[in-house]
């Protein structure tokens, strides 16, 4: 029982940690837009903001969302085993769970913010049904195979295009970002919503975008599969026993991931830089996962750990709250700070928001078992007003 409890605490703590990184990365989108965040030459940055932008690109961006992705796969496998223990049919529960994420994600993307990830997770929930009942080795092999396939495609594309592939048209990008700055900074809710849903500086044709949409589950599946593999292998069930693995994995993956991401950041024009970021982001993410797990083998602050775990337990609610709070601060229908606050102050804002969420989540869980959105998800997924799974009744055999 002790091992199981430690495993749950470690996963919740890692999930809470990933939410902090996701918030810091998303603050670039909240403040500069989903296209503007990668085109900082259109904005006036102080030397400190320029340095902090590079810091976020290397240490945060592309490396915290993969942690969440890994944990999504991990939690899917744990839920599957829980359902099987209770004698329940698993497919219907995962279908309902995926539908819930699609609905919430669609509403989130349409009415609040373009950086939504929940819709994608809903789609992946259906795709991952193919692997739920596969053997541990099969899942690992598929994860490695799809990772290799992704690197092959990225490598071929990078060397053909010389690292210059752009989804956005250079001719459309500058006026689009200028218009976005004006509308997001001073516009009404309806004006911002219309701009978000109907305008984009894309240069690729419909068939290319359709190809990307259809094949994105295949190319993004590896981290989900590695999470599922980790759950089947019972990784993080006994942190003390696995301490040596955590230590060596973190010591290797964190510096390798940082080096690869640094290469991409400072040499983006080279043909092989796309390979560096494609490999570096996930490697750093796994390094962060093992680094956090290693803390559960140490005598680190119990109170801080509990606060971090509390955020992780309410991850869905806290993720949506990020959007509500930050769009209110940055968009024209709120405080109108779009492209004005600067990266340094936005990092401080992110730390303040996350700090408040840690305390609020901790005290909320003293009185309630689940967050508001988590509870709705459980009620819908389990078809139970209590949000609890019920064991399947055994039918008595006829004499």
For residue range 82-141, what is the model confidence (pLDDT) as tens digits?
A: 899 888 889 999 999 999 999 999 999 999 999 999 999 999 999 999 999 999 999 999
Q: Is 90 part of any domain?
A: yes
Q: What is the pLDDT of residue 206?
A: 61
- C-beta of residue 372 within 8 angstroms of C-beta of residue 317: yes
3-state secondary structure at position 60? coil
Give the single-character DSSP code of 167: S
- Asked if the model's pLDDT at residue 287 lies above 90, the reply is yes
Q: Is 9 part of any domain?
A: yes
- C-beta of residue 203 within 8 angstroms of C-beta of residue 168: yes
Q: Is 297 part of any domain?
A: yes
Q: Is 387 part of any domain?
A: no
Question: How confident is the model over 140-162, as a mean pLDDT?
Answer: 86
Q: How far apart are CA 314 and CA 337, in angstroms?
A: 28
Question: How confident is the model over 289-298, as a mean pLDDT?
Answer: 90
- Distance from the Cα of residue 258 to its chain's centroid: 19
Question: How confident is the model over 145-165, as a mean pLDDT?
Answer: 78
Find the Cα–Cα–Cα–Cα dihedral 382, 386, 392, 397, rounded to 10°.
-140
Q: What is the pLDDT of residue 396?
A: 42
Which residues, including other chains, have CB under 8 Å from residue 233's CB and lie 6 or more apart? 136
Tell me the average pLDDT of the chain.
Answer: 89
Q: Which domain holds residue 104?
A: 2-382
Q: Is 390 part of any domain?
A: no
Q: What is the pLDDT of residue 186?
A: 96
pLDDT in tens, 20-63: 999 999 999 999 999 999 999 999 999 999 999 999 999 999 99
Q: Is 185 exposed, middle or buried, given 0-12, 13-18 or 19+ CB atoms closer than 10 A?
A: middle
Per DSSP, helices labelled H in 33-168 are 47-59, 65-85, 90-111, 118-127, 136-161
Q: How far apart are CA 171 and CA 174, in angstroms?
A: 7
Q: What is the pLDDT of residue 271?
A: 74
Q: Is 388 part of any domain?
A: no
Instruction: Provide the token pair at 117.
Output: 């990830």
Q: What is the pLDDT of residue 107?
A: 97
Confidence grade of residue 6 (pLDDT, cut at 50, 70, 90) = very low
- C-beta of residue 228 within 8 angstroms of C-beta of residue 73: yes
Confidence grade of residue 384 (pLDDT, cut at 50, 70, 90) = confident
- The crossing angle, in degrees rounded to 10, of helices 343-367 and 302-313 is 90
pLDDT in tens, 179-232: 999 999 999 999 999 999 998 887 655 666 667 777 788 889 999 999 999 999
Q: Is 393 part of any domain?
A: no
- Asked if the model's pLDDT at residue 303 lies above 90, the reply is no
Angle (CA) 249-223-67 rounded to 5° is 65
Question: How confident is the model over 3-22, as a mean pLDDT?
Answer: 79
Q: Which of 69, 221, 228, 209 is nearest to 150 (CA)?
A: 221
3-state secondary structure at position 199? coil
- Asked if the model's pLDDT at residue 348 lies above 80, the reply is yes
Question: How confident is the model over 290-295, as a mean pLDDT?
Answer: 93
Q: How far apart are CA 6 and CA 10, in angstroms?
A: 6
- Asked if the model's pLDDT at residue 7 lies above 60, the reply is no
Q: What is the pLDDT of residue 166?
A: 61
- Asked if the model's pLDDT at residue 243 lies above 60, the reply is yes
Number of domains in the chain: 1
Q: Is 397 exposed, middle or buried, given 0-12, 13-18 or 19+ CB atoms closer than 10 A?
A: exposed
Q: Is 113 part of any domain?
A: yes
- Contacts for 335-339: CB closer than 8 Å, 24+ residues apart: 336/185, 336/186, 337/31, 337/185, 338/31, 338/32, 338/33, 338/181, 338/184, 338/185, 339/31, 339/32, 339/36, 339/43, 339/181, 339/184, 339/185
Q: Global pTM?
A: 0.91
What is the percent of the chain where pLDDT is above 70?
Answer: 90
For the ranges 166-175, 211-220, 224-233, 306-315, the lowest mean pLDDT is seen at: 166-175
């Amino acid at each position: 029982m002790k091992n199981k409890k430690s495993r749950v605490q470690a996963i919740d703590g890692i999930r809470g940690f990933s939410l902090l990184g996701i918030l810091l990365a998303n603050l670039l989108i909240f403040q500069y837009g989903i296209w503007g965040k990668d085109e900082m030459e259109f904005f006036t940055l102080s030397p400190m903001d320029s340095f902090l932008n590079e810091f976020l690109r290397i240490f945060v961006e592309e490396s915290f969302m993969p942690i969440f992705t890994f944990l999504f796969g991990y939690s899917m496998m744990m839920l599957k085993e829980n359902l099987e223990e209770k004698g329940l049919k698993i497919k219907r529960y995962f279908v309902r769970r995926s539908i819930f994420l699609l609905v919430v994600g669609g509403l989130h993307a349409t009415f609040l913010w373009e950086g939504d990830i929940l819709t994608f997770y809903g789609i992946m929930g259906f795709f991952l049904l193919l692997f739920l009942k596969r053997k541990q080795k099969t899942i690992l092999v598929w994860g490695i195979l799809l990772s290799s396939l992704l690197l092959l495609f990225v490598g071929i594309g990078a060397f053909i295009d010389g690292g210059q592939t752009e989804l956005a048209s250079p001719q459309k990008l500058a006026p689009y970002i200028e218009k976005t700055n004006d509308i997001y900074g001073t516009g009404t809710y309806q004006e911002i919503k219309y701009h978000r849903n109907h305008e984009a500086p894309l240069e690729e044709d419909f068939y290319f975008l359709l190809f990307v949409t259809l094949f994105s589950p295949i190319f993004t599946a590896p981290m989900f599969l590695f999470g599922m593999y980790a759950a089947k292998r019972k990784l993080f069930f006994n942190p003390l026993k696995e301490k040596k693995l955590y230590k060596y994995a973190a010591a290797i993956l964190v510096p390798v991931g940082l080096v690869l991401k640094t290469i991409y950041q400072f040499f983006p024009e080279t043909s092989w830089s796309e390979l560096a970021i494609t490999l570096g982001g996930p490697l750093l993410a796994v390094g962060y996962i093992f680094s956090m797990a290693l803390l559960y083998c140490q005598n680190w602050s119990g109170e801080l750990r509990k606060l971090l775990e509390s955020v992780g337990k309410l991850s869905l609610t806290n993720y949506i709250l990020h959007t509500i709070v930050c769009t209110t601060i940055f968009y024209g229908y709120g405080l109108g700070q779009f492209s004005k606050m600067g990266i340094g102050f936005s990092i401080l804002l992110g730390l303040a928001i996350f700090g408040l969420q840690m305390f609020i989540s901790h005290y909320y869980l003293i009185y309630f078992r689940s967050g508001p959105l988590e509870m709705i998800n459980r009620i819908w997924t389990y078809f139970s007003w209590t949000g609890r799974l019920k064991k399947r009744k055994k039918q008595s055999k006829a004499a």
